[in-house]
Amino acid sequence: MLAAAALGLAACNPETMGAGGPSRQKVTVAGRALTIAAPPGLCIDEGSTRIDAAGAFLLLEDCGGASARPPRAALTVAVSSGGLTGEGDAAGDTLDDLRGFLTTPDGLALIGRSGRSAGVRVLAEQRAEGALFVLVEDRGPQPIAGLDRRFWRAFLEVNDRMTVLSVLGFDGGVDAQAGLQQLAALASAIRGANPG
């Protein structure tokens, strides 16, 4: 799923990202519907949205982004066709398993942006409200020039679909604490839009 998101990310150019757009979008992935909701001040860039059998990718940016080109930061949402937890698994146990996997070479390649494990490391992690937040550093080649090499990813399950949230900072536009706060706000907005 993150590979598909990387393709969507590679298609995003910070110079041409559009401002405005809806603050909510309903997506259906492998028969499960969920609503992606942006925190206040952010909008979904409809031109970057991709939904297919493998999953969904959405880019969220400042609703007033047209006046501040290029943007300093954006958020992404990638929805998988599968769940985070297996049948009968507890969410907490599954997050522990995921946490362990993300420190392996395959896991590091998955969470990095370069697609390689070399140069990727987990700098910090935090669990809150059923989500795993991971601060990643990727020293490998980036899919877009100017992307910050340190960024947060969050993993959570929404309506039985693994959902991965990421912060895109451009040219030092987001410090670690601000990035974590932005992802936490996005995770909370999505959870609030998908009760149950």
Distances (CA, A) of 37 to 68, 73, 104, 127: 23, 17, 32, 21
The predicted structure's pLDDT at residue 171: 79
d(CA 152, CA 175): 10
Per-residue pLDDT of the chain (196 residues; tens, 9 = 90+): 444 444 344 444 444 444 557 899 999 999 999 999 999 999 999 999 999 888 999 999 988 754 545 557 789 999 998 887 655 455 556 888 889 999 899 999 989 988 889 999 999 999 998 899 999 999 988 777 778 889 999 999 999 899 999 998 887 778 888 899 999 999 999 999 998 6
Tokens 């980036």 correspond to what residue? Answer: 142
The predicted structure's pLDDT at residue 53: 81
Residues 6+ apart with CB under 8 A from 193: 24, 35, 36, 37
pTM of the model: 0.83
Q: Position 116: which residue type? A: R
Q: 195 φ, ψ to 5°?
A: -65, 150
Tokens 């998988």 correspond to what residue? Answer: 80
**What domains sit in the chain, N to C, each tagged with a CATH number?**
2-193 (3.40.1000)
DSSP assignment letter at 89: -
